Every structure is written in structure tokens, then in C-alpha cells.
Amino acid sequence: MEACGRHENIVSLHEKFITPDKLIIIMDLIFGGELFEYLLERGRFSEKEVSVLMKKVCSALKHLHDRNICHNDIKPENLLLTSKFEDAVLKITDFGNSFFLSEKIIFDKPTGTSAYHAPEIILHQPCDKNIDMWSFGVVIYIMLCGVHPFDPSGNFSNAKIVLRVCNGEFARNDAWNQLSSDARNLIEHLLDPNPDTRYTADEALNHPWFGGRAPPKILLEKSAEQLKGFQNLSLLRASIVALGASLPTHVENARQFYANAPPVVSASERLGSYNRWNMDSNTYIKSFQLFDKDEKGFIGKHELRQLFRSFGQYLSDKDLRLIVAEGDLNGDGKISIQEFVGLMKRRMRSAWESGTDDLLRLFKIFDIDGNGVIDKHELRHVMDAVGHFVTEEDVEEMMLAADLDGNGSIDYNDFLTFLADLNETKLN
């Protein structure tokens, strides 16, 4: 972060202190929340407003790229506002996957968030700083259209998303058609599967859409509702993963997971290895946040017990201790966010590999009346249990996304398909 220097739209490092057992860093104070939340609170917004915000992000990316720094995890969750007030400043944060890059490289194991990965990352082809520009294009599309360009319905498997990304097949739906020609042109240049012709940050900043031509009067009436639906689906998956923490525990097997994880396979199996081992960690992070209500950055028995009880799951102290023991790889008696992501990836992978028992148990937690399907009332109960208010329309949209056979309820097969993008083994 020192190498990033100072830029108005990048979270800055102000000071650092080293003690015998700690590294203390002083950074910008950020308490305005995600850009997503800001747009949702606004309710309606114009292309012009989105253009102004995204130009700031693009300027920050140019600043990084001029210093040969690749952020490598541009996504809406990493775009934060400094406050809740009108003069809030938008900043890029989370440099955990960033790296210096003076020439093209090939990733042995992709990092970042797979839903925002450029095709060259997936295909193990040479990558440069323009992988950030692909992710930036995905973010602009989501902001303007309210859906993911390669998963507009919210129910595609990770494997299907990967194939669409590699082919550059993003959705050209009604929301897309209502955008200005300048907005569509910019996105098409950013979501160019060919990294050599994809726009750089310099080229994007010089585009007319960032030069004042974004129309101020075209209100994207459906975008806020669609953005909310986008978040609701993410929260539903996160809730399911959270309950996955209550699946049977095998502490020693979990501790051996990292040592036994296979390496990246041969070139002929590269796409398969991407699907098998590179999971989108964002769902797991959202799941962690459901437990970590006080935002301490770690969870223990108390936090596990509270969330499980909200779903009607009453685990014994022994079971809760086992969960903590499985996740607590550094032995400090609690589960950090990094440990939680690793724990849940192992558990969801194990659930698929061990057959249907664990997944059926997970399904039955949501199937409150035990009739073999999850209806709208039970879906609303899930949202209520995690303290997330949803309207009838929200529930209808979530049901449409998960109810793949269109019979008005979510059966076990629908449930498994909805979870497919969390599964490492099935995708292979």
C-alpha cells in the first residue's frame, strides 16, 4: 500500500507501527458503506450519476497501473464511501490480492473473485493490468443494469458463467437496451475477451461517456430494484453457507486439507482446475458477516450459537466447540474471516463429496413444515432469521431465481442447482 502512494479514490496508508508481536497500520477512516448500498438508498439514479462515480474508480485504476500495480479484485464490495454524507468520497479498498506487474504473467492459481475474472485468468493465458479493466467493466454493467452480465438470472452455475466469460457472451437484455449508445460502447470495449484490444484505463478515461456525454435524464427505474435482488440472492446463498457450518465436523481431516490439496493440473485440464479449485469467496465472506454482527473480525461459540438458534438449530456446547476447533487453524480460540472462508470451502466441498445426506439435512432446515419443498413463506423466514427485511416482490424474485422448474416452490433438485456455484467437485 505504500507503493500505491496517495490518490483521492484509493484507501491510503497513513502510518505504521511495529511492536514485538504486532504490525499496526493507520488507514483512512471509511464508514459510509458499500457503493451498492448508496445506490439502493437513492432508489433511482441516472447514467450521469453512475458515470461520475465510475470515472473516479477509473482514475484510481490509472494511478495504480501507472505504478505497475494490479489491484486484481475490483468488485462492488471493494468500492466504499468515506461517510454517509453528500460529500462522501468513493475509494477502492482491499489490496489483499494486489501485486506488482511489469510484464505479463500466467497465474498458477487464480486469486481474487471468480465472478469478476477476465477470460485470460480462467484460461491460464498471459495476464497484465488489463484484468482490472475487465472487472471494472463488469462493475459498470452491474451498476447500470442491476444484474451480473454473465449471470443475469442469478442462477447460473459457476461452470456456465466461466464459459460465457471466455466467449464474451454477456447479457443484452431490456436493461442493456435502454442504456445510451455511449454506455454500451464503453462496456463492450471493457468486456472485450481479447486483452490486447480491451480498453486500458487511459483509453477508458478518454471515452465520451466519461467526458460529460452520459445522459442525466435517463433514469434507470428498474436498476435499483434489480440491484436489491442481486444482493438478496447473494444473501440467500450466504445464509445457506452459514448453516453449512452446522454440518458434521471432522477436525483432523480439516486440518489436513491444505496439505493434501492437489496442485494445478496439466494444460489440457486447466479449465477444469479453475472450476474445481477457484471458488468465489464473496459468498463465504457475506456468510461470515452474518455471524460477526459486532464486526470484531472473528467469531466464536457465542456468535455461532446466536445465528444457528435464529434458524431453529440448537447445537450443544460440544458441537460448537468442535466447529470452532475445526476453523481455528492458528489455535487462538476463535475463527477469523480467512479461517472461516477456508472452513466453509472445505465443508461445502465435503458435503458434495460425501453424497446427499449432508445436503439433504441442509435442505430440511429451510423446509420448515417438512413437505419436501421450500415455499415463499419459508424463504421469507430465512431472510427474517438473518435480520434482512424483504418485500413480497423481493421474495418473488428470489423464488423465480431458485425455482428452476417453475412450479412455484423450491424442491431438493432446485436447491442443489442453486448451490452449484459453491461446489468445487461437481463443477469438474
Supply the DSSP string of 40-65, one letter for each residue. Answer: HHH---BHHHHHHHHHHHHHHHHHHH
Environment class of residue 402 by beta-carbon count within 10 Å: exposed (0-12), middle (13-18) or buried (19+)? buried
Helix (H, G, I), strand (E, B) or coil at 145: helix
Give which of 1, 10, 101, 98 is closest to 57, Cα–Cα.
Answer: 10
Enumerate the β-bridge partners of residue 34.
80
CA distance linking residue 273 with residue 421, whole number of Å: 14
CB atoms within 10 A of CB 308: 22
CA distance linking residue 302 with residue 218, whole number of Å: 49
CB atoms within 10 A of CB 38: 18
CA distance linking residue 195 with residue 186, whole number of Å: 15
Residue ranges of alpha helices (H) inside 12-171 are 35-42, 47-66, 119-122, 131-145, 158-167
80 neighbors 30 (Cβ within 8 angstroms): yes
State which H helix or E strand residue 338 sits in.
helix 337-353
Phi, psi of 196, rounded to the nearest 5 degrees: -75, -25
Q: From start to end of 304-413, where are the E strands?
A: 335-336
Catalytic (active site) residue 202:
no
Sequence-distant (≥ 6) Cβ neighbours of residue 113 within 8 angstroms: 73, 75, 280, 281, 282
The C-alpha torsion from 92 through 98 and 100 to 106, rounded to 10°, is -130
Sequence-distant (≥ 6) Cβ neighbours of residue 311 within 8 angstroms: 243, 365, 382, 385
Helix (H, G, I), strand (E, B) or coil at 180: coil
Q: Which of 28, 73, 87, 328 is catalytic?
A: 73
DSSP 420: G
Phi, psi of 199, rounded to the nearest 5 degrees: -60, 140
Residue 338 one-letter amino acid: Q
Could you list the active site residues?
Answer: 73
